[in-house]
Amino acid sequence: MTLKPIPVRSESTLECRSCGAGAPVDEHFCSQCSRILALGRHGDFFTFFGLPRRLTVDARDLERRFRELSRKFHPDFFYNAAASERLASLERSSYLNDAYRVLRNSVSRIEYLLSLEGFSPATPETGGVAGASRVPPSLLEEVFALNEELDEIRELRESGFDAAQLRVRLDAARTPIDRRREAHERELETLSARWDAQVEAPAAERRAILEALRACLLERHYIINLLATIEREAASLDPALSPAPPPGDAEPSAHG
């Protein structure tokens, strides 16, 4: 590991460090001297890929663009270039890899869109229990029922009740939560399609869709935490089994 001071800069348009010509932020190479441009601070993942700010993304098309851009930027091809071009290649490759990781997953794509549109993150930062502190109103009923059932199961388990029977009860308690999760996946899809169709709509309508997306994501995170709690209880019913990972954890990269 090495350490160095950060280059502090704030250009709003790009300036070619090789020939001094100006360039729009979504360009990768200088139109004058065709050298790789240093990465600006004002582009975004969508423009970087040459894509509109939409939530429906063709996975094959995105992958093809990723490979094409990798072939253009990768540090392998700038080994003998000037230091400024090597740095630009490193920055652009990193940005490309980050952009691809975020955009290829539907949930991280929505989270990214929300952050671009000025919303605070819909994910609890650490992905841990922080998101469980406030119950979304629409989930109050299910959460109440589930917590009661979990408490009872826990008590019975500690008093040595038959594990197989408890597992049946746990599965039953899980069913409505699983159903809510499926409903959320469908709702996210519907909202995403609405966003894509209303790119030209008035700001207030667009904002309403984003609000709905954000609320939906928050609930989704809450549901995933609930499922994780159920998984943990299931694991303690059968100590021989190690706890299974929650379905859809805080690492979006794990889901292509």
Residues that bind other proteins (rule: CB under 8 A) add up to a total of 34
Strand partners, 29: 36
CB within 8 A of 119, min separation 6: which ones?
Answer: 210, 214
Q: Is 12 near other proteins (CB under 8 A)?
A: no
Whether 15 contacts 23, CB under 8 Å? yes
Closer of 179 and 255 to other proteins (Cβ): 255
Burial of 185 (0-12, 13-18, 19+ CB in 10 A): middle
Q: Of 76-84, 158-166, 175-183, 224-232, which part binds other proteins (CB under 8 A)?
A: 76-84
Closer of 70 and 84 to other proteins (Cβ): 70
∠ Cα 166 170 174 (to 5°): 170
CB within 8 A of 116, min separation 6: which ones?
Answer: 44, 53
Q: Is 255 near other proteins (CB under 8 A)?
A: yes
Q: Is 49 near other proteins (CB under 8 A)?
A: no
Q: Of 19-27, 92-100, 141-149, 198-206, which part binds other proteins (CB under 8 A)?
A: 92-100
Whether 123 contacts 111, CB under 8 Å? yes
The binder of other proteins chosen from 51, 54, 70, 167 (CB under 8 A):
70
Binding stretches for other proteins (CB under 8 A): 1-8, 10, 67, 70-71, 74-77, 79-80, 90-91, 93-95, 97-98, 100-101, 125-126, 251, 253-256
